[in-house]
Chain A
Amino acid sequence: MSLRSKIFATIILVTMGTLILVGVLVTQRLTLQVRSNLFASIQNAADVVNTVYDLNRTRLIEESSRLANDPRLRASLATRDKETIAETIGALARAENAPMLLVLSPGEEFLAGRGLPAEDYGRISKAAVVIDALNGFESADYWLVKDQLLVVAATPVITGSRMFGIIILGRPLGENVLNDLAGMTGSQFALRYGGTVHHNTYRESRQAIDAALASLEPEATPMDFSTRNMRFIGLSQTLLNAEDQPVASLVIYRSYDQELEALSPLRTSIYLIALGSIGISLLASFFLASGVTRPVERLATSIRNFGGGNYAEPIEVTSNDEVGVLAASFEEMRQSLLIARDELLHAERLSTVGRMANGIIHDFKQPITTIRGYTELICAQDMSSEKRMEFGAMILGSVQQMMGMINDLLDFARGKATLHLEQADLNKVVQNAVSQLQAALAEHQVEVNFTPGKIDSLGLDQLRIQRVIENLISNAGEAISGAGKITLETRTANGGVDLIITDTGSGVPEELRETLFEPFVTLGKPSGTGLGLAVAKNIVEEHGGTIQFQSETDIGSTFRIHLPANGV
């Protein structure tokens, strides 16, 4: 994975990670906020409830007072006649639409009334409101009468010196009050007593919610409860009567799901922003990464070239950072390497030259021996001029041999041959080379044939090319043991000229085929320096050409030289 991709991926991952984390944290915080808002609303509603309850009770006490002031009620109580009193109370209760209206005598005896089951008559005198009324206080309380929760107020019916009795008025604490509360506060209310939910302001799913509510414990702080597919938060307020006994509990609650839904546009915004951010960071990181990695890539390319052996290209230092420092170090290294390589080559050459000198000195022995022998013979005896010429030729031959070795060595030591290019006909050059060696080879039963092709003139260093061809022919000849054939051929090819030399020799030994053109690779010939083919390759390549061979053991070898059309 490239550096750029890594940087890319890192930036993306970091951005995404951060965004996800932020998103989660924000959502959580918002949810907490929603919850705490809900809690606050519910607590507020609870306070409102208390105020409403107080108002309710005060209202009822005032109503009860008003009734106590009714002259008809007083007149009927004054008669102490139960029938009269019952008649008056009945009419009053109807007129007031009061579910419960009772009167007691000053001695707390039940006189008349409606809305209370007869079995409870005896207990009224012990009720807190009655006791208060007897002491002159008007008060209100909560009574559970016939499974209905009533707000109850008792007032003494008194004028100046006279106490006529006690009146008790009861009205239900129910639907209307709760609906008013729900309208005022925006919360939902449910009244529980006698083990069931009696009133619930929530419009739908009553049964499910009632079931959930029924099991809610009274708690002063809001808590969660839910039906199968709805969640709520609520608290339960206990309603106490005048004796501090719980008579009912009021649940104040709100829909949690609804409040969270209000958050969902916000959540959508967060997601969109997150996606947008990721997109932006993709773009940004794209450019950033390039900025960081491009110098590195350039350096990597330079170093790769460098590693491949191309020490020529300088390594650019384009920045001041660590990459720049790295590039500068590599550039220093490259320059050192260049110097070292040249020195090494030079040393190698010198050592090669040394080796070669060694080899040549060894190889010179034979021709010098030949020269000495024949020279001694010429000096020692009288001989015929033919004999002298013959011996002279032998001496010359050895001299030429030595010259050839010296030239090879010089060529190699110099490294590059400086070519003298002239426009010439290759066929001529080939013919010269053939002529030189044809006779000698024929003595060894080796036939040399040359088929010149139709070729254009080339830019050639004739001398050197001739030597190369002579070298090849000579090698071919040495490869043939006994009788054989050497064929040469030229033809036009690829914008240049191909020269093909084929022999029927024993072929190039397999172990030498890879390294044939390297210096000092010999077949073990006594008169060879092993430089011939190396020099040949050098010269051919200096011309811009190529030299290759194919060989099969015991069948022969084919050498192919290609020389381009170097115009001169």
Chain B
Amino acid sequence: MQKRGWILLGVLLAQGLSAGEISGRVKVSTSNAPPPVMLSPYSRNRYAPPGNLSAVSQPPVVVIYLKAHAGLGSAGGNYPVAVIDQKDLAISPRVTIVQAGTAVDFTNSDAVYHNIFSLSRTKRFNLGRYPRGERRSVTFENPGTVEIFCDIHSDMNAVVLVVPNTYYAIADQDGSYSIKSVPPGTYTLTAWRENQAEQTRQVVITSGDDHIVLDFDL
């Protein structure tokens, strides 16, 4: 190896040696499930039942991440294109997590037209109507939550969480998470759960040996 390489290795080792870990458990309450609805005949008959009702039985997706910080680097580089499909009058996957700068392809696999749009401040866009087989792309540069809807079918919706860096973890089924190799610094740890406001905590990593355990109640 060249000298530059050794220095890089050394730096890397040093970084790795001085990286902390943040882990914990997230307890998810189910108290804010929507009530059983008596829809009017109008709304009941107009559309087919939403395709992702099955999601009710699934536990919500929880993501723990660190807000943007100069020391954490930004998510640059090429990331693979994520694909979000519209099929059976539903958008899937329901929750997509991408790093800032990722491009997402929206494909229409249904026999009907769809019109994907979002009014979220993070990324406001409207792909217009396009038929089956077509795909249109959106690049999410800014971190944040993007709520996605179909302008034609009011029960179709999905969410894209754009994380600012690589320091994020998706909670397990039992709620445990772990973010490794966090360089020392003061950060804002955010617990994100779909359909809900985020919860944030301040976290300080002083040295590579720090292991911070933080639990959230969402």
Contacts and interface: CB of A to CB of B under 8 A. Distances in A.
Given A65-B40, A66-B42, A155-B40, A162 B149 contact: no
B34 A71 contact: no
B46 interface: yes
A235 B40 CA distance: 34
A271 interface: no
A472 B121 CA distance: 166
Contacts of B32: 106
| Chain B interface residue number, banded | 35 or more
Given A79-B119, A80-B197, A106-B32, A162 B157 contact: yes
Chain A CB within 10 Å, residue with most, of B49, B53, B151, B157: B157
Nearest to B197: A80
A434 interface: no
Interface in B133-180: 147, 149-157
Nearest to B124: A84
Contact of A70 (B50, B154, B195): B154
B157 A74 contact: yes
| Chain A interface residue number, banded | 20 to 34
A245 to B, nearest CB: 25
B40 A74 contact: no
B70 interface: no
B57 to A, nearest CB: 9
Interface of A: 61-62, 65-66, 68-72, 74-76, 78-81, 84, 88, 106, 134-138, 155-156, 158-163
Given A74-B154, A161-B53, A138 B40 contact: yes
Interface string B27-52: 00000111111111011001101101
Interface of B: 32-40, 42-43, 46-47, 49-50, 52-53, 55-56, 117-121, 147, 149-157, 195, 197
- In order of increasing CB-CB distance, the 5 nearest A-B pairs are A78-B147, A163-B34, A161-B56, A75-B149, A65-B40
Contacts of B50: 159-160
Contact of B149 (A62, A71, A136, A158): A71
B150 A65 contact: no
Contacts of B35: 134-136, 156, 163
A71 B150 contact: yes
Contact of B52 (A74, A80, A136, A160): A160
Contacts of A75: 117-119, 147, 149, 157
8 contacts: A71-B154, A76-B119, A80-B197, A84-B121, A135-B35, A136-B35, A160-B53, A161-B53
A62 B152 contact: no
